[in-house]
C-alpha cells in the first residue's frame, strides 16, 4: 500500500491518475513481474475526463511528428514509474494479443460494460481510458473497490447512445468498425472527426467530463490511422 501511495503521487505529477489496484488471480492473466515472481498487485494508470491529456499535449512526443505519440508518451512515463517501484510496465496497446485491460479495469474499480463496449464509470461516464499498468511483487492489501448495485446503464431507459450514430454502427451486439471508418473518411464524417464519436457524446452521464475538441480530434485521428 505504501508503494501504491508513492506511485499515485509520482504518476499524478507526470499527468496520469492511479485508476485502481487489485490482487491478481491466475485467471486474470497478469504476466510475472520477473521469471518465477508472480504479481501480487496490479495497478492501473490512465486518464479521467479532461485530466492528463494536457500533460501529453505539452510533451516532446506530441510534437516530434513520429507515429503513435500518445502510446510512446505513455510508454516513457509508465516505464519510468515501473523502474522506480521495481515493477513491470504493461500496456493496453502492445498487441495483438491484447492484454485484457477491460477485464483488469473491472477488477480495479467500479466500471462495467456499456452497450457501446466501452466501460462506463459512475463518476466519469464514458470519458476515461487506461494508458498502462504496473505489476508489483508486493501483495495487495488495500480494499476491494466499492461497487454500486446498479451501473449508470442499468437505469438508462432510453439508451440514446444506441441511436445516435448516423450510420447505425452500434447494434447493441457489436460495433461495425468498417461502417464507422468509411463514414469518418467521407465529408459527412467531419462532425465525428472534429468533435468526437456522436454515440459516445449522446450519453447523458458525466457529459461535463467529455473530451474537449483537441482531445476528441486527436483520438479520432489516431483511431482512423490505426484502421489504415
Instruction: Determine if 31 is a binding residue for ligand B12 (CB under 6 A).
Output: no
Q: In this structure, are residues 68 and 44 in contact, taking their beta carbons and an 8 Å threshold?
A: no
Stretch touching ligand B12 by CB under 6 A, among 17-25, 81-89, 117-125, 143-151: 117-125
List Cβ neighbours of 36 (8 Å cut-off, separation of 6 or more).
none
Shortest distance in whole angstroms from residue 192 CB to ligand B12: 9
Helix axes 69-85, 2-14, angle to 10 degrees: 150
In the bound complex, which residue of the shown chain has the CB atom lying closest to ligand B12?
100
Among 116, 164, 184, 205, binds ligand B12 (CB under 6 A): 116
DSSP state of 168: -
CA atoms within 13 A on the CB side of 160: 9
* Nearer CB in complex with ligand B12: 4/106: 106
Beta bridge mates, 47: 129
From residue 75 to residue 94, the character string flagging contacts with ligand B12 as x (rule: CB under 6 A) and all else as - is -----------------x--
Instruction: Determine if 215 is a binding residue for ligand B12 (CB under 6 A).
Output: no
From residue 113 to residue 142, the character string flagging contacts with ligand SF4 as x (rule: CB under 6 A) and all else as - is -xxx---x----------------------
Q: Answer with the entry of ligand B12, ligand SF4, none that 113 interacts with (C-beta below 5 to 8 A by kind).
A: ligand B12
- Transcribe 106-152 into DSSP letters: HHHSS-EE-TTSSEEBTTTBT-EEEEEEEEESSPP-SPPPP--SS-G
DSSP state of 202: T
Q: In this structure, are residues 7 and 43 in contact, taking their beta carbons and an 8 Å threshold?
A: yes
Shortest distance in whole angstroms from residue 94 CB to ligand B12: 8
Instruction: Determine if 177 is a binding residue for ligand B12 (CB under 6 A).
Output: yes
For ligand SF4, the binding residues in 156-185 under the rule CB under 6 A are 156, 159-161, 165, 167, 169, 180, 183-184
Instruction: Determine if 205 is a binding residue for ligand B12 (CB under 6 A).
Output: no
Measured from the Cβ of residue 89, the count of other Cβ atoms closer than 10 Å reads 20
- Transcribe 47-91 into DSSP letters: EETTSSHHHHHTSGGGGS--S-HHHHHHHHHHHHHHHHHT-EEE-
Residues that bind ligand B12 (CB under 6 A): 92, 98-103, 113, 116-119, 128-130, 175, 177, 219-220, 223, 226
Residues that bind ligand SF4 (CB under 6 A): 114-116, 120, 152-153, 156, 159-161, 165, 167, 169, 180, 183-184, 192, 197-199, 203, 205
Amino acid at each position: 500500500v505504501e508503494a501504491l501511495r508513492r506511485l499515485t503521487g509520482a504518476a499524478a505529477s507526470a499527468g496520469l491518475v492511479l485508476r485502481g489496484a487489485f490482487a491478481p488471480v491466475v485467471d486474470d492473466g497478469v504476466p510475472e513481474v520477473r521469471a518465477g515472481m508472480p504479481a501480487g498487485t496490479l495497478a492501473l494508470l490512465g486518464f479521467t475526463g479532461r485530466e492528463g491529456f494536457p500533460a501529453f499535449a505539452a510533451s516532446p512526443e506530441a510534437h516530434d511528428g513520429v507515429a503513435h505519440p500518445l502510446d510512446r508518451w505513455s510508454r516513457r512515463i509508465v516505464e519510468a514509474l515501473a523502474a522506480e517501484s521495481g515493477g513491470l510496465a504493461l500496456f493496453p496497446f502492445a498487441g495483438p494479443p491484447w492484454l485484457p485491460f477491460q477485464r483488469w479495469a473491472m477488477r480495479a474499480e467500479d466500471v462495467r460494460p456499456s452497450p457501446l463496449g466501452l466501460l462506463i464509470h459512475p463518476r466519469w461516464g464514458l470519458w476515461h481510458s487506461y494508458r498502462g499498468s504496473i505489476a508489483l511483487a508486493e501483495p495487495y492489501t488495500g480494499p476491494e473497490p466499492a461497487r454500486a448495485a446498479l451501473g449508470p446503464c442499468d437505469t438508462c431507459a432510453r439508451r440514446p447512445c444506441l441511436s445516435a450514430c448516423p450510420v447505425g454502427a452500434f447494434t447493441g451486439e457489436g460495433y461495425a468498425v468498417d461502417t464507422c471508418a468509411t463514414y469518418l473518411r467521407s465529408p459527412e464524417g467531419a462532425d465525428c472527426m472534429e468533435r468526437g464519436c456522436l454515440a459516445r457524446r449522446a450519453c447523458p452521464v458525466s457529459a461535463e467530463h467529455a473530451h474537449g475538441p483537441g482531445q476528441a480530434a486527436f483520438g479520432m485521428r489516431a483511431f482512423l490511422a490505426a484502421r489504415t
